[in-house]
């Protein structure tokens, strides 16, 4: 195995382990809500899910975009300018957090109604929306720190933070829903505390003085924020498209089968989030790995990385297709 393949396996496998932890927490969240709250809870969770897609998409856009620009400037030797990218990204997090908190305070009930929450599940949907929006600063900051820490040469810590938050969410989900009987409030509180755990662990990157980026004294520059975010717009589009599909299906299924139909669709939607989230983040890590030699001016190194990145994509895509085809045939359904 040559050095390119070794570096590729080390760089990408850590992110995959983190995604496995994230997938477990999404499925565990669905399981605990279904068992502890019932079909109405599952329906409320699925109706409110697009709001999480929006918050997560904004966080990924700011994180991926800012961290990518930071890595490019760092590779070009512009260390001083690269440090300012982090500060401008934090300004963007602050501004987006203000918007989300204002929406939470003044428009959450209207959003819950518009998304299809009815009398039976309205209260649970509203609780989920309000708490997710209240924790939006934590979701945004966690995504930004995770991306910057990974691109600052510490993928081990980024993976550990994802796993720590995910496993902590699973434990809190169980405690809040079953022993403490907190219902939907407990489920969404556990979800909101997960990024706080990730931020806590990621902060050790600064405490141990391993970071090459720091908060700098500078004014917010809107054009710099937009320039950074532009590089992560694909992440936002991916999350928004997923949330839009879930929203449209929820509205259609509510009219056909009611809350029980939405609850059933919620199981499928969460499994889809796991699969597409896994594939998307693999693609993002492959892309980042492929670009790294170019950032440092090593064009031949980048060309050697291309086949190493492309082959696993085809393998994983073919494997997933075979699994879905076999699952459909085993269930007796048509694909």
The residue that leads in pLDDT, 82 or 85, is 85
In sign, the C-alpha dihedral spanning 129, 134, 140, 143 is negative
What is the number of alpha carbons within 13 Å of residue 190 lying toward its C-beta?
28
pLDDT at 196: 95
Average pLDDT score over residue span 156-178: 89
pTM: 0.80
pLDDT at 335: 37
11 exposure class (CB count in 10 Å sphere: 0-12, 13-18, 19+):
middle
What is the average pLDDT score of the chain? 79
pLDDT at 58: 94
Structural tokens at position 223: 């054009």
**Greatest mean pLDDT range, 4-13, 190-199, 251-260, 306-315:** 190-199
pLDDT at 294: 47
Of the pLDDT bands very low, low, confident and very high (cuts 50, 70, 90), residue 90 is very high
302 pLDDT exceeds 50?
no
pLDDT at 313: 57
Average pLDDT score over residue span 66-75: 83
Cα 309 from Cα 303, distance rounded (Å): 10
**Greatest mean pLDDT range, 77-91, 112-126, 291-305:** 112-126
Query: How many C-beta atoms lie closer than 10 Å to residue 303's C-beta?
Result: 12
Q: What is the pLDDT of residues 224-275, one digit of tens each?
A: 898 888 888 988 888 888 888 888 888 888 888 777 787 777 777 766 666 6
159 pLDDT exceeds 90?
no
- 3-state secondary structure string, the chain? CCHHHHHHHHHHHHHHHHHHHHHHHHHHHHHHHHHHCCHHHHHHHHHHHHHHHHHHHHHHHHHHHHHHHHHHHHHCCCHHHHHHHHHHHHHHHHHHHHHHHHHHHHHHHHHHHHCCCCCCCHHHHHHHHHHHHHCHHHHHHHHHHHHHHHHCCCHHHHHHHHHHHHHHHHHHHHHHHCCCCCHHHHHHHHHHHHHHHHHHHHCHHHHCCCCCCCCCCCCCCHHHHHHHHHCCHHHHHHHHHHHHHHHHHHHHHHHHHHHHHHHHHHHHHHHHHHHHHHHHHHHHHHHHHHHHHHHCCCHHHHHHHHHHHHHHHHHHHHHHHHHHHHHHHHCCCCC
Average pLDDT score over residue span 106-112: 92
**Closest-CA residue to 47 (of 123, 135, 139):** 123
Average pLDDT score over residue span 188-216: 88
62 pLDDT exceeds 90?
yes
pLDDT at 235: 82
**Closest-CA residue to 134 (of 106, 172, 100, 91):** 100
Average pLDDT score over residue span 50-59: 91
Contact 160, 205 (CB under 8 A): no
pLDDT at 185: 92
Lowest pLDDT segment from 181-185, 224-228, 259-263, 290-294: 290-294
pLDDT at 333: 47
Q: How far is CA 276 from CA 204, 247, 272, 283, in A?
A: 30, 17, 6, 10
In percent, how much of the chain has pLDDT > 90? Answer: 27
Average pLDDT score over residue span 74-81: 73
The residue that leads in pLDDT, 93 or 332, is 93
**Greatest mean pLDDT range, 5-14, 102-111, 119-128, 246-255:** 102-111
pLDDT at 300: 46
pLDDT at 208: 80
107 pLDDT exceeds 50?
yes
Average pLDDT score over residue span 55-76: 87
Cα 115 from Cα 140, distance rounded (Å): 23
């Amino acid at each position: 195995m040559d050095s390119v393949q070794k570096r590729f396996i080390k760089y990408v496998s850590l992110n995959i382990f983190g995604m496995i932890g994230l997938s477990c927490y999404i499925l565990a969240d669905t399981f605990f809500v279904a068992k502890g709250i019932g079909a109405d809870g599952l329906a409320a969770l699925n109706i409110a899910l697009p709001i999480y897609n929006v918050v997560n998409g904004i966080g990924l856009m700011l994180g991926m975009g800012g961290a990518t620009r930071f890595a490019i400037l760092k590779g070009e030797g512009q260390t001083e300018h690269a440090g300012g990218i982090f500060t401008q990204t934090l300004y963007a997090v602050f501004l987006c957090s203000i918007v989300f908190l204002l929406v939470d305070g003044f428009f959450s009930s209207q959003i819950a109604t518009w998304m299809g929450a009815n009398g039976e599940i309205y209260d649970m949907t509203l609780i989920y929306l309000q708490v997710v929006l209240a924790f939006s600063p934590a979701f945004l900051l966690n995504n930004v720190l995770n991306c910057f820490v990974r691109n600052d040469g510490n993928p081990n810590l980024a993976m550990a933070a994802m796993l720590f938050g995910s496993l902590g969410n699973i434990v809190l989900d169980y405690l809040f829903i079953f022993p403490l009987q907190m219902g939907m409030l407990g489920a969404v509180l556990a979800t909101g505390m997960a990024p706080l755990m990730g931020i806590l662990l990621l902060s050790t990157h600064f405490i141990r003085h391993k970071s090459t980026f720091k908060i700098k004294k500078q004014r917010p520059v809107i054009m710099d924020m937009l320039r950074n975010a532009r590089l992560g717009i694909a992440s936002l589009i991916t999350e928004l498209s997923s949330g839009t599909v879930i929203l449209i299906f929820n509205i259609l299924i509510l009219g056909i089968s009611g809350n029980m139909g939405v609850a059933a669709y919620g199981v499928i939607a969460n499994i889809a989030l796991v699969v597409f989230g896994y594939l998307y983040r693999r693609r993002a890590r492959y892309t980042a790995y492929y670009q790294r030699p170019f950032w440092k001016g090593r064009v031949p190194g980048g060309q050697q990385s291309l086949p190493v990145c492309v082959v696993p994509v085809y393998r994983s895509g073919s494997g997933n297709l075979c699994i879905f085809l076999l699952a459909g045939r085993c269930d007796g359904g048509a694909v």
